[in-house]
Structure 1
Amino acid sequence: MSSSQEEDKPKFAPKTPVNLNPPKDDPISTAELAKANGKDSENTYVAIKGQIYDVTGNDSYVNGGYKVFAGKDASRALALSSLKPEDVRADWQDLSDKEKGVLNDWETFFSKRYNIVGKVSD
């Protein structure tokens, strides 16, 4: 791909186009989110900055390397590029600008691949 073609391609665009539903803002409690871990429910959700993405069907969030994120708000861990369970939490406001930029990149990545099914309500 030439550099001009790369410039035309949106940042973090998936290799194959994804048809996404309009985002929902249904309130989902952290308890409900926790059940959507791919094991206790047929759904697998991951939240970023309170926005909940449906990652159902991506086995990496059930049996793979990202299973630590399933059913949780993974904002801090994503910003820190961490898979440590203790980093998988919603608070991220105290992070550095660089880490917040990484988190924003993850948010963009998820928004181009997964349906938004709600917002964390508590």
Structure 2
Amino acid sequence: MDLTLQQLKQYDGTDASKPIYLAVKGRIFDVSAGKSFYGPGGPYAMFAGKDASRALAKMSKSDDDVCANLNGLSDKEIGVLNDWEKKFEAKYPIVGRVVS
């Protein structure tokens, strides 16, 4: 399934009839199994329905960092992002990709 960032926003957990999606490096993961983390009120709810790549790389919960932009990240931050990506791959199904 291909989704734009605008379409991805529909899967932020606020509609209980839809799964919760989160993108990492443009790949969309179904994180519904982690609803207590990514659903409304969860500690990582700000990542749901978005590409959280930059925020994960920087270990940040700032709204400004919850985006796909990897420009200016250090090698260490890219390494952190790659580690997160592996964790998501091991735990959640990949259901699609973000398209422009």
TM over 0.5: yes
Of the candidates 37, 51, 54, which is equivalent to residue 73 of structure 1?
51
The corresponding residue for 1:105 is 83
| Unmatched 5+ stretches in structure 1 | 1-25
| Unmatched 5+ stretches in structure 2 | none
What's the offset of the Cα at 1:27? 1.1
Paired with 2:37 and 2:51, the residues of 1 have a C-alpha distance of: 16
Letter in 2 for 1:42: K
Paired with 2:3 and 2:62, the residues of 1 have a C-alpha distance of: 24
Determine what percentage of the aligned residue pairs are the same residue: 48
Paired with 2:10 and 2:63, the residues of 1 have a C-alpha distance of: 17
Give runs of ≥4 in structure 1 deviating > 2 Å.
Answer: none
What's the offset of the Cα at 1:101? 0.1
Bigger helix fraction: 2
Paired with 2:64 and 2:71, the residues of 1 have a C-alpha distance of: 17
Query: TM-score, normalized by length of structure 1?
Result: 0.76
**Which one has a bigger Cα radius of gyration?**
1
Q: CA RMSD in A?
A: 1.1
* Per-residue Cα deviation, 1:32-75 (whole angstroms, up to 9, x for no partner): 21110010352100100000000013121012110010000000
